[in-house]
Amino acid sequence: AEFTASLSEEGKLDLRGRLTDATLCGAVEAFAHARFGSDSVYIATRLDANLPDGWPMRVLAGLESMAELASGSLIVRADTVELKGKTGSLRAKARIAQILSAKLGQGKTYKVDVTYVESLDPAAALPTPDECRLRIDAAISVQKIAFTPGSADLTKAARGTIDALVAVLTNCPNMRVEIAGYTDSQGSDEGNRKLSQSRAEAVLTALKGRRVAVDGFTAVGYGEADPIADNVAEDGREANRRIEFKFLDLPVEETTTAGTDPAPTEGIADPAVDNSPSLAPAKSTLRPKTRPENN
């Protein structure tokens, strides 16, 4: 007796084989519809009341493990559970082994033959922090983020730049970024600091209003500090009135305005790719201790 499941590359799940009773049929159907979509599931199972003990748990554990795959197959038999397929997650194999070990119990046999395929990994397609910085620099270089004189109101052209930044930041999740506002030297130090703070916050608010994940973002106003041009001429003052994006996960000395070249920071390495088959650990056998000799 066996139960089988096949998951195609198109996400279609085909369930066949034997189940113990209507209760298990309902549980299998509910789980499959919830995890794979009701329109993607085909069920052609049959009832068999004479299946081995633990059959329901084997079937459900196998299906839960299969949800970690992009495509593959599952076979449940009286003596083993076998899972084979492809995944876009580096952690899928360990997760599957964890599920089967916990649900099947010690000493139960299972086999996992799962291959990691980078092209299936959504995270692999995401830009690196350095690539995100370069794309933001490019967006700002086309049209700087400008404000109406003496206010924190974005100009019409600046709104277009914000839209371009949204397109970049949507694909750059979980980043720690400081939005830094600067002014020229006209006016008081405190007035310039407050104005730059308001402008930085205006940019943050604009991004948030466009549904960018800004949990790791902060807005800081520096006033007339750190000028990048001479404040004597108007073109210099115009250059100093600016918004910078500082990536806090990059080296501090390399994190500057658009047009600079910070290097990426060291990150936590992903788990090594392990595409070798996994087998259940053998059931441990306790050996009697040697009786000590009488002295």
pLDDT at 254 over 90: no
Domains of the chain with bracketed CATH: 2-122+271-279 (3.40.1520.20), 129-254 (3.30.1330.60)
Q: Tell me the residue length of the chain.
A: 295
Q: What is the pLDDT averaged over residues 181-208?
A: 96
pLDDT band at 197 (very low <50, low <70, confident <90, very high): very high
DSSP strands (E only) in 123-164:
none
Both tokens of 148, joined, read 């109406």
pLDDT above 90 as % of the chain: 68
Contact between 237 and 184 under an 8 Å Cβ cutoff? The reply is yes
| Separate counts of helices (H) and strands (E) for the chain | 7, 10
Query: What does pTM read for this prediction?
Result: 0.53
How do residues 110-148 score in pLDDT, each as one tens digit? 999 999 998 888 777 778 888 888 999 999 889 999 999
From residue 116, give the alpha-carbon distance in Å to each of 84, 87, 90, 120, 271: 11, 5, 6, 8, 11
- The end-to-end CA distance of the chain, in Å, is 59
| Per-residue pLDDT at 105 | 83
pLDDT at 166 over 80: yes
19: which strand partners?
47
Both tokens of 182, joined, read 């600067």
| Per-residue pLDDT at 280 | 55
